[in-house]
Amino acid sequence: MSDHFEISSPPFDSVSQVRFSPTNPDHLLVSAWDTTVRLYDVTANEQKAKFDHRAAVLACCFSDATHAYSGGLDTGVRELDLASEKVTHLGQHGNAVSTMNYSREQNVLITGSWDQSLRFWDPRAQTAGVSTYSIPERVYNMDLVNNTLVVAMASRLFHIYDIRKMNEPAQTRESSLKFMTRSLACMVDGQGYAIGSVEGRIGVEYFDPSPEAQDKKYAFKCHRQTIDDVDHVWPVNALAFHPVYNTFASAGSDGTVSIWDHKVKKRLRQYPKYSAPIPSVAFNCDGTRLAVGVSYTWDDGEEGAKTAERPAVWIRKTGEEVKPRQAS
C-alpha cells in the first residue's frame, strides 16, 4: 500500500467531514453534500457501506466500531448501523445540524445546530432520550475532550461546558481571532484547543482561566501566500490533533495541509499542495494515517463551482513529521 493514495468511489459532491473510527484504524466515515455518508476500509481501499439522506450531510461521527451518527440540512439526527446499513431516525433539530460529537465517557451523542441549540441524545434508550440546551447563537463547530465541550458559535462567541452539568457554561469567551470561526479542535491532553478563522489565522487557547495559563495563548498567520506582490489569504477549514503526540494538522482553502507543534510554536511540515480546497482532515486512532478530504468549498460561489474538480479523499501515512520537536 502506497504512503499516499486516493480512496476509490469518493462522494460525487463536496466532502463535509472525514472521521476515523475510535477503535479501528482502517475505518473511515465520509459525509458529503451528495446526501451520503460512506464507510471505507482504507487498507483494502473499498467502500463498505453507504447511507442516503434527504439533503446534504454536514456532520458525522462514530460512537464505537459498529455505530455512527449523521446530521445535516434535512435537520434529522440519524443512527447508522455500519454492519447492517440500517438507519434509525433519532429525532430533529429546528434547523440544519452543523456538528456532532459522541461522548464515550457519558455515552451520549451531542449535536449542535443553526437553530441555536445543543442536544444530548441517549441512543440506548427505547425512545432516544433528548435534552435540549438553548445557546445565544448558531453553532458552527464543536469539539470534545474528556468531559469538556467547546462550542464555537456565530458572532465569534465560544462556550466551554462540563457536559456533566450543562445548566450553564463553565466559561464564555470571545474568539481571540478577529474574523469568523471556521474550525476548532481540542488538544488530546485536555489542556486547551485550537481555532481557525476565515482569514488565514490560527489561535491556540487554554482552558485554565488563571493568568499564567492565559499568558500561553497565542495566534499566528497561516494558509497565506504572496503572489505578484498581492497577499492571498485563505480560510483555515479544518484542524485535527494527533492522538499520540498532540501536534496538530491544519487544512485550508489554499489546498495545503500543515503539521504544527504548538508547544514550540513551529511548523513541522507542509505537505505538497492538493488540487482543490480541503474542507476536513482527521487522524486515525493510532495516528498512523491522516485522511484529507479535497473538494470545492464554495469560497468563490457559483462561479467557482463551474470549474471545480471532482471531490477526492486522500490517505497519507504519517511519519517523523508528526512528532514534536524537543524544545531548545
What pLDDT does residue 21 have? 98
| Core vs surface per residue 21-40: b (16+ CB within 10 A) or e | bbebbbbbbbbbbbbbbbbb
> Residue ranges of the domains in the chain?
4-322
pTM of the model: 0.96
Instruction: State the chain's maximal CA–CA distance in angstroms.
Output: 62
Dist CA 101 CA 157 (whole Å): 19
Q: For 186-192, which contacts have Cβ atoms below 8 Å and span 24 or more sequence positions? A: 186/143, 186/144, 186/145, 186/148, 186/150, 186/241, 187/145, 187/241, 187/246, 187/248, 187/262, 188/145, 188/241, 188/242, 188/243, 188/244, 188/246, 189/246, 190/145, 190/146, 190/148, 192/217
Count Cβ atoms within 10 A of the Cβ of residue 119 and give its class: 0-12 exposed, 13-18 middle, 19 or more buried: buried
Amino acid (one-letter) located at 22 = P
Runs of H (alpha helix) within the chain: 211-214, 301-306
Is pLDDT of 328 > 60?
no
Q: What percent of the chain has pLDDT over 90?
A: 89
31 pLDDT higher than 60:
yes
- Tell me, what's the pLDDT at 326? 75
C-alpha 4/C-alpha 74 separation (Å) is: 34
At 41, the pLDDT band (50, 70, 90 cuts) reads: very high
CA–CA distances in Å: residue 45 to residues 1, 48, 258:
9, 9, 24
Q: How confident is the model at residue 1 (pLDDT cuts 50, 70, 90)?
A: low
Res. 8 pLDDT band, cuts 50 70 90: very high
127 pLDDT exceeds 80?
no
What pLDDT, on the 0 to 100 scale, is given for residue 245? Answer: 98
How many residues are given for the chain? 328
Rounded to 5 degrees, what are φ and ψ at 214? Answer: -70, -25
Confidence of residue 124 (pLDDT cuts 50, 70, 90): confident
CATH code matching the domain that covers 4-322, chosen among 1.10.1040.10, 3.40.640.10, 3.10.20.30, 2.130.10.10: 2.130.10.10
* Rg of the chain over all Cα atoms, to the nearest angstrom: 19
